[in-house]
Chain A
Amino acid sequence: MKVAVLQFPGSNCDQDAFHLFASGLKVNTKYVWHKETSLGDADLVVVPGGFSYGDYLRCGAIARFSPVMKAVQAFSQQGGVVYGICNGFQILCEAGLLPGALIRNSSLEYRCITCALKVETSNASFNPNFLGASVKLPIGHGEGNFRIDEAGLARLEANKQVLLRYENNPNGSLSDIAGIRSEAGNVFGMMPHPDRAFERFHPSMDGLKVATAVLATKFPELLKHTA
């Protein structure tokens, strides 16, 4: 498989995401600049964290208009797998590829801590079988407070689109939601950082497993990392 990590002006977890895949999961990974109009031969598009366009106006609100996002839209419509982490999640919500929105943390402060997350049973497109009941991943965000209207929330729950929930809600997210997938099951977004949990010295190495759970259905070769 081939992974494309997008780079927007202000992306700053692009290297983290790159190394999660290239060094952690040992898959072929490359960067794609936001002014590109094609994703090349990528099988998976990762939208990394950071402060695209300085988070000015609203997190992700400007990045969604970058030229590359047209290609991402088309890619996802054809069933391509798109995975947004932190600012990437915000961008995917702004782009309408995922439902809901992320607003300012209820504390009105940035939070960088490691969170325990309850693993939800989603459908086959998110394979949590090897995750156990709970994982630990770092968060680092000021706007991770997930919001959606009542009908939207009901749809998320009915379709089992919630992937991860905070055990101790750090940001005020509705129903403790930390990560979701699209209804079709090929677009994923989460505020926690698997890209900060894959080295021996990280707070946990659960990032490898979470990334694998997100992608294992389409890319079963990743399952070798779950041993």
Chain B
Amino acid sequence: MSKAASQQSPRDPALGVAALLPPNPDPLLNQTITPELIRKHGLLPDEFELICKSLGRQPTLTETGIFSVMWSEHCSYKNSRSLLKGFPTEKKGETKDYGRVLVKAGEENAGIIDVGDGWAVAFKIESHNHPSAIEPFEGAATGVGGIIRDIFTMGARPVLLTNSLRFGELSSPATKRLLRGVVAGIAHYGNCVGVPTVGGDVYFDASYEGNPLVNALCLGVLRHDQIRLGKATGVGNPVFYVGAATGRDGLGGAAFASRELSEASAADRPAVQKGDPFMEKLLIEACLEMMAVPGLVVGIQDMGAAGLTCSTCETASRGGAGIEIELDQVPQRETGMNSYEIMLSESQERMLVIVKKGREKEIEAIFEKWDLHASNVGTVTDTGRMVVKQHGITVADIPANVLTDQAPLYKREAKEGEWAINARKWTPAALPDLDAKGVEAALSALIASPTISSKRWIYRQYDNMVQHGTAVGPGSDAAVVRLRLGDAEKFIAISNDCNGRYCALNPKRGALIAMVECLRNLACSGAKALAMTDNLNFGNPYKPENFYQLSECIQGLAEACRFFDVPVVGGNVSLYNESPAGSIDPTPTVSIVGLIEDEKHITRQTVSTSGSRLILLGGAPHELGGSQYLGLCHGIKAGDAPEVDLNAESLLQTFLLTQIKAGRVIAAHDISEGGLMVTVTEMLFTPEVGAPNALTLGAALDLSSLSASRLDALLFGESQARAVIAVSSVVEKELLSLAASVGLPATTIGEVNASGVLSLAKGSIKTQWNVAALRTGWETTIENAMRRPGLN
């Protein structure tokens, strides 16, 4: 084949031959670019024409590969970028002490927010859905590795990880295999690299069967003067390649991530990378040490999706410069790799560093200390072009900004799907309301359902305490982490959210709910929101109903961001989340970081002593649409998503924060999946530290004063803008009148006691539960499903 290929004319003379490249050192790469090859690279005929026009000639095979990854959805956001422009990227209100956006969304590898006193946090979420579907362990592990690199490349020390996971029904053997592999992969990477996994969210729903979602977030901390950018500037500055050697793994991963999953996807397994968290740990330390040397680093960027290709053209493009590299200088894991393979490899744990000319020895010494490669592979030029050579022969020569900024932008057809239109029409009229027995059974079932139940089986496999900053770990509304800032300290909170069920029924409202719930979680933990990062997980954008969902969800997120003045500092778009059974429920995962001004304000969702009064804030829940109750107890995914009233949310959250700061709140937990009864029950599940709690808490609830047309909707409906707080009897009256004075509905619904029994009265309906039994169901659902015989 190689002989035949080399004998073909490498160019089509009709397309203009002014700047023909010499034949590639590997004759295999001198093939004519056929329509078939273009299609295999995921490029459209129109896109190929555009490429030829920008180059003034046909691309070589290596160049075609470079365009295919840079113009893939994963790197170019070509189907979503026009929509993303609706996001606010700066804070409108006053930012005297903290909250200013220092590095904006889309400018760099991660956004950066001022947290005051000269310190800042960099954070971002990113998906690794497709690799995890094919090879869950390595897929999830490298997802963690990739997002950590995005953070320390900004100059920040990574201090926490969270993740947002979605799987099919837990009863399915395929889900168990994926869950086990994904959790083990995240644990393998995060634990070894020494960054604590402090929180996350997990849902199980049939729509994710065959296409799980694995979104990983990393947050790092740095001083303002430590911010480093991915810019290549200064003609003549050397370009260094540092970290692991390049192998043939992960070839074309970005292009792979931009296709639908099919039965044939298993054959794509070579597109999944293999991670080495030990290498990453060394790379973090070496890079932070290098960046701490004044003036040594001009620019730095990780090699993530599209590896060497993306890092060279992006740094060049951002710096308004060019870069020329020689592939012979790239450390290689195997011999005989050609330029196509080296440029498209997604081998992990590699970085590109632009160093101040004349100071090469300094960077070499640092990497020598850490036993890592640091290889001078090229130079910054003034040509604006990305020039790649192998054995001295040019194998690619492309204007850098064509790759990064001139991918075509598409606005696809958007049309709401029939399913959602019909599903929203559902009303509970035909559904019989619950009696006492039904109430009892429903809570027992909901609390033990996989989505609501404790995720202990998952998070105890993650090191959630390393770096000794974890103040509130996994299992609460929000995780709280102490940041060491020189001799000072600050506490930040972080929460993830997205209910795909709501988004499927009403995409815009579902997205609004993802935002307001996330904000509510932060308020419950005592934090003021700083900024948001989002991971937009959707199906194939060429299907009008999917593009409609994408467009609506982005509008919903943007509206909430503007209303609450929470800027978007970055994120990720993952399309083509489909399996042969169809598209996933739209899942615009939201992660918001907040600041807790005083350690005393840290508030948990659980109570630990008896006697406190439980107060419902926001009024009686009254909606059933899209609820877990409907799904679990009736097998119904229908109705409209709960209503969203941004003013009501704001009122509730402001009140929560004010009362927490005033020291009147013992515990706070928002109402979300499973409704009011699940919220109250979870508040009684005080974490067991080392040994069983001395006290089994109970609560006596009387909801008779709440008006409700349906009991099921009151107890298990998921109306928004509601939370339950525990307060001491001493402040109860004062708090109720304070709520009344701002117009926030507030009702005492019961008292925490030490009976071990949760009792409920609502008019003539009376029922009760054993709290220990509820807790066993809640704690063991996932453990029992995942238990392996003979192991404990």
Contacts and interface: CB of A to CB of B under 8 A. Distances in A.
Asked whether A and B interact, the reply is yes
Contacts of A106: 791-792
Point out which of A9, A114, A115, A202 has the most chain B C-beta atoms below 10 A from its C-beta. A9
A110 B191 CA distance: 9
B653 to A, nearest CB: 23
Interface of A: 9-10, 12-13, 15-16, 19, 35, 49-51, 53-56, 106-117, 134, 136, 138, 140, 142, 167-168, 172, 193, 195-196, 198-204
Nearest to A198: B468
Point out which of A55, A110, A114, A116 has the most chain B C-beta atoms below 10 A from its C-beta. A110
Point out which of B276, B281, B471, B788 has the most chain A C-beta atoms below 10 A from its C-beta. B281
B471 A16 contact: no
Interface stretch (B200-208, B440-448, B456-464): B456-464
B466 A140 contact: yes
A201 B599 contact: yes
B468 A195 contact: yes
Interface residues of B, number: 35
Contact of A54 (B187, B276, B599): B276
A202 to B, nearest CB: 7
Interface string B345-384: 0000000000000000000000001110000000000000
Contacts of B369: 35
Given A53-B278, A54-B277, A106-B792, A201 B463 contact: no
A167 B689 CA distance: 12
Contacts of B700: none
B396 interface: no
A54 B278 contact: yes
B691 interface: yes
Nearest to A117: B690
A203 B689 contact: yes
Contacts of B462: 110, 112
Given A12-B192, A198-B468, A200-B599, 14 more contacts: A9-B278, A12-B466, A16-B466, A55-B278, A110-B187, A110-B191, A112-B461, A140-B191, A167-B691, A172-B792, A196-B468, A201-B471, A202-B468, A204-B689
B176 interface: no
A109 B787 CA distance: 11
B194 interface: yes
Contact of A112 (B277, B370, B464, B691): B464
Contacts of B690: 114-117, 136, 167, 203-204
Given A12-B281, A108-B791, A110-B191, A199 B468 contact: yes
A117 B467 CA distance: 22
Contact of A168 (B192, B279, B463, B691): B691
Q: Which 6 A-B pairs have the closest CB atoms?
A: A12-B194, A54-B278, A116-B690, A201-B471, A136-B690, A51-B192
Point out which of A111, A115, A196 has the most chain B C-beta atoms below 10 A from its C-beta. A196
A183 B36 CA distance: 73
Point out which of B276, B460, B471 has the most chain A C-beta atoms below 10 A from its C-beta. B460
A12 B602 CA distance: 27
A116 B691 contact: yes
Given A116-B690, A199-B468, A203-B690, A9 B371 contact: yes
B723 interface: no
A9 B280 CA distance: 11
5 contacts: A9-B278, A107-B792, A112-B465, A167-B690, A201-B602
Interface in B180-231: 184, 187, 191-194
